[in-house]
Amino acid sequence: MPENSASAADRLHAVLTTLRTTMDAQISTSPSVREEHSHGEAMSTARLPDAVVFAESTQDVSTVLRACHAERVPVVAFGAGTSVEGHVVPPEHAISLDLSRMTAILAVNAEDLDCRIQAGLTRQSLNTQIRDTGLFFPVDPGGEATLGGMCATRASGTAAVRYGTMKENVLGLTVVLATGEIIHTGGRVRKSSTGYDLTSLFIGSEGTLGVITEVQLKLHGRPETLSAAVCQFENLHDAVQTAMEIIQCGIPITRVELMDAVQMQASIQFSKLEGYRPLTTLFFEFSGAPAAVQEQVSATEALVEANNGLGFAWANSPEERSLLWKARHDAFWAAKALAPQARVISTDCIVPISRLGTLIDGVYEDIKASGLRAPLLGHVGDGNFHTLIITEDTPKGHAQAWELDKKIVARALALGGSCSGEHGVGMGKLDFLETEHGSGALSVMRALKNTMDPHHILNPGKLLPAGPVYQG
């Protein structure tokens, strides 16, 4: 294709002129709508898209990408805007492609434990609508994220220790490529030995290789018995050791979440958790047949006692369990409430479970040296945790927070971990990719990007740092 010599503004105008012939009612240039699509959560970086296009079908997405590819106009897919590493911040003269109107459940195959949904549907809405089937979708990142966005960031959450992440729970996808071509990956079967695993290629690609419009999901039976408990510890190390031993002993626990003393104090105040002290706390959930749950509980209680736990507080009613898990999911807002005028920067990293105690000990040293408040919480059952760094909402404060973040991630990488267990890369973690993956692997990733998106219109500037491309 010959080079397009028109200015970026002219090319964008040409795309919008084309799209208005068939999608005029779905295009907005309203300042308030553009502002909503200028950023995600947590990061301060924001930039207004020139226009927002609301897709209502896979064909709409294809129409938009075909026009953007022809004119070399960047486009950023947008779901609920809950990402925290700058994934949805548009570049200059870009279109934000909003999929939040694509919320249909296309098929539910209860006998085969799977369903097909449009990418704009949220996990909460899916589970509400399929409740009568006795099935549910378990991947729970906490926020009102869309399932397409959860695929794009390879999300996980509190139940990953039992049910896995999005990678393990997606059977197939419908994806629109940069050229507007529509492809289907995977299928409904639980395994296949044919072809490249394109489904896994798009899971976690952060909208840089294609736009996911439909998802074939695994579903799971709702457990017969569900029970939650809280145990507090005087010593953080004892709590971490307990979580590690639960996993090492093979106890099939559904969730094991940690809040340190600082986070617990914030959550007690914000979520009205009566009867708890501001101590390091583990939140447990057990599920399954009654006898299996009792076996899990007995084994966990023995480990808690051996590690100086202060006893269990049980939450057996749905209302009590809901209060506990809502407090866990509202941890960010609880930390924010400690200093309402400050900024909270959420970061995550992950290490092999046996190295978790070493990492957290080092992170506490970094937090103390920084002079910042930084509550710690996480999915300690799989070695993943978050630090909520509270800082002044000033350039100096942001710089201090990012310096602490870099130290935390550097420790995780040195222990054989990853710079992100579930938040993804976006713009926020670009600096760590070469250390984690090596220059050779990154050059192959760039070659894939060049092949599938030759004009680099799909979410440019995310996921892949600039550098050499594998030439063969």
Report yes or no: 23 and 60 within 8 Å, Cβ to Cβ: yes
- Domain count along the chain: 4
Determine the length of the chain: 472
Query: Same domain for 289 and 352?
Result: no
Query: Same domain for 26 and 93?
Result: yes
pLDDT at 4: 57
Asked whether residue 456 is assigned to any structural domain, the reply reads no
In eight-state DSSP terms, residue 458 is: B
- Provide the CATH number for the domain around residue 235: 3.30.70.2190
Neighbours of 47 (CB within 10 A): 15
pLDDT at 420: 94
Following DSSP, what letter does each residue of 298-365 receive, concatenated?
HHHHHHHHHTT---EEEE-SHHHHHHHHHHHHTHHHHHHHHSTTSEEEEEEEE--GGGHHHHHHHHHH
Q: Is the dihedral of CA 397, 400, 404, 407 positive or negative?
A: positive
Q: What is the pLDDT of residues 141-151, one digit of tens each?
A: 877 899 999 99
The token pair at 407 is 């130290």
CA distance 39 to 383: 29
Identify the domain containing residue 180 by its residue range.
109-123+134-221
Query: Same domain for 158 and 212?
Result: yes
Nearest to 109 by CA among 224, 213, 187: 187
Among the candidates 221, 239, 254, a domain finishes at: 221
Query: Same domain for 323 and 351?
Result: no
The token pair at 308 is 């100086």
CA distance 173 to 119: 9
Report yes or no: 414 and 436 within 8 Å, Cβ to Cβ: no
- Provide the CATH number for the domain around residue 26: 3.30.43.10
Asked whether residue 461 is assigned to any structural domain, the reply reads no
Query: Same domain for 213 and 116?
Result: yes
The token pair at 321 is 């369990």
CA distance 467 to 470: 10
Query: Same domain for 174 and 204?
Result: yes
- Provide the CATH number for the domain around residue 181: 3.30.465.10
Query: Same domain for 384 and 343?
Result: yes
Report yes or no: 76 and 64 within 8 Å, Cβ to Cβ: no
Half-sphere exposure of 227 (CA within 13 A, CB side): 19
Query: Same domain for 146 and 186?
Result: yes
CA distance 80 to 61: 17
Query: Same domain for 149 and 234?
Result: no
CA distance 472 to 465: 20
Asked whether residue 449 is assigned to any structural domain, the reply reads no
Q: Is the dihedral of CA 137, 141, 143, 144 positive or negative?
A: negative
Asked whether residue 425 is assigned to any structural domain, the reply reads no
The token pair at 148 is 């397409």
Following DSSP, what letter does each residue of 48-109 receive, concatenated?
--SEEEE--SHHHHHHHHHHHHHHT--EEEESSS--SSSTT---TT-EEEE-TT---EEEEE
Q: What is the pLDDT of residues 188-208, one digit of tens each?
A: 999 999 999 999 999 999 999
Asked whether residue 276 is assigned to any structural domain, the reply reads yes
In eight-state DSSP terms, residue 192 is: -
Query: Same domain for 352 and 369?
Result: yes
Asked whether residue 360 is assigned to any structural domain, the reply reads yes
- Provide the CATH number for the domain around residue 384: 3.30.70.2740
Q: Dihedrals φ, ψ of 76, to 5°? A: -120, 120
Nearest to 159 by CA among 147, 142, 180, 178: 142
Query: Same domain for 244 and 208?
Result: no
Among the candidates 414, 430, 457, a domain finishes at: 414
Query: Same domain for 235 and 210?
Result: no
Among the candidates 414, 432, 464, a domain finishes at: 414
Asked whether residue 382 is assigned to any structural domain, the reply reads yes
pTM: 0.94
Q: At what angle do helices 318-329 and 331-338 cross, to 10 degrees?
A: 60
**pLDDT tens by residue, the chain, 472 residues:** 345 568 999 999 999 999 999 999 999 999 999 999 999 987 778 999 999 999 999 999 999 999 999 999 999 999 999 998 999 999 999 999 999 999 999 999 999 999 999 999 999 999 999 999 999 999 998 778 999 999 999 999 889 999 999 999 999 999 999 999 999 999 999 999 999 999 999 999 999 999 999 999 999 999 999 889 999 999 999 999 999 999 999 999 999 999 999 999 999 999 998 889 999 999 999 999 999 999 999 999 999 999 999 988 888 788 888 888 889 889 999 999 999 999 998 889 999 999 999 999 999 999 999 999 999 998 888 999 999 999 999 999 999 999 999 999 999 999 999 999 999 999 999 999 999 999 999 999 999 999 999 999 999 999 999 999 999 8
Asked whether residue 467 is assigned to any structural domain, the reply reads no
